[in-house]
Amino acid sequence: MAKDPDMPTPEEIDAIKEFMDGKTTAEIAAQRCTSRIYLKEENPDPTLIWGLLESLAVEFPETQDRIVELLAATKRLPNPIRNGKEHRIYTQRTFSDLGYFRADFFDYFTGIKYANPTSFHSGSKVSIPLSWARVNAFSARLTADLVQDFRRYGVETIEDALDEKNLKENHTREFFLPAAANQIIFASYPIWNLRNDPELEKHTMVLEWNRWRKTFEELIEDAQLSQETRGLLQQAVAAMEAVAQDPNRDDWQRKLVQYQAQYQASLNSARNP
């Protein structure tokens, strides 16, 4: 059978499948599904791998933790060397920075957000509202494990959900609220940590956090919302309560400082080869 030019090779797909089935480790799967890119491609391009993993995360949400683990393992791989230098996609190293993953994911993320909410995603059987909830859970998991820092996406999702115009109609509430809840459920501490962001005022972030929690608590009592959505909001409030019990926990902040330092060093290296 001829290879589909829009898909990874069968060998790469098998490596990912075996990892998802628990038959191999993340490290071995990462090596196997990138070996062709590493060894043979003149301009290494892992975007087909990225696209497959994004689709899997939405089609089969039970795989999300494994996909995050696989991407984290990919970041630990040595980068391809071309012309005596680490290969980069724009300024990003192929594997260490997950070259072009952020831009590719942004396109995927916004494609779902602005799709017709009565349709299905990319010909799949997953509805757009469910896809939106799942892709937000995935982005939050990526943030929580610092595979990528997608906290700003999370805040935007929450603000969209609590925008007055989106709270007026039940169909828009059912679209936006599960996604917002997932951001808090899976990335509560990282989002709370934005109060330490020098580009934001700490006081403002704390006020927003408290406003979100108050609105979630009110919506839990709204009988017009589905039981599933109210359940997700309850989980989000529970996650916010856990933050309130230990608001100064700094383990994620320490990892963030290391992540930012490594990424900045990579950018500086790209600018000053």
Report the pLDDT value the prediction gives residue 38, as an integer from 0 to 100: 87
Instruction: Check: CB of residue 205 under 8 Å from CB of residue 212.
Output: no
Buried b (16+ CB within 10 A) or exposed e, 220-232: beeeebeeebbeb
Q: Report whether pLDDT(55) > 80.
A: yes
Band (pLDDT 50/70/90 cuts) for residue 257 is confident
Report the pLDDT value the prediction gives residue 174, as an integer from 0 to 100: 96
Question: pLDDT above 70 covers what percent of the chain?
Answer: 95
Reading phi first (left if > 0) and then psi (alpha if -120 to 50, else beta), residue 76 is in: alpha
SS3 127: strand
Alpha carbons 271 and 273: distance in angstroms, whole number:
6
Amino acid letter for position 157 = T
Instruction: Check: CB of residue 166 under 8 Å from CB of residue 173.
Output: yes
Alpha carbons 109 and 137: distance in angstroms, whole number:
11
3-state helix, strand, coil in the chain (%, to 5): 70, 5, 25
User: Which residue, among 17, 236, 218, 256, has the nearest Cα to 133 in the 3D structure?
Assistant: 236
Report the pLDDT value the prediction gives residue 122, as an integer from 0 to 100: 62
Reading phi first (left if > 0) and then psi (alpha if -120 to 50, else beta), residue 22 is in: left
pLDDT, tens digit (0-9, with 9 covering 90-100), for 145-169:
999 999 999 999 999 999 999 999 9
How many angstroms from the chain centroid is the CA of residue 47? 15
Alpha carbons 128 and 50: distance in angstroms, whole number:
20
Band (pLDDT 50/70/90 cuts) for residue 5 is low
User: Which residue, among 66, 36, 67, has the nearest Cα to 53 in the 3D structure?
Assistant: 67
pLDDT, tens digit (0-9, with 9 covering 90-100), for 207-250:
999 999 999 999 999 999 999 999 999 999 999 999 999 998 88
Band (pLDDT 50/70/90 cuts) for residue 4 is low
pTM greater than 0.95 (yes/no):
no
Report the pLDDT value the prediction gives residue 96, as an integer from 0 to 100: 93
Report the pLDDT value the prediction gives residue 39, as an integer from 0 to 100: 87
In sequence order, what are the residues at sequence separation of 6 or more whose Cβ sits closer than 8 angstroms to the Cβ of residue 89? 45, 99, 100
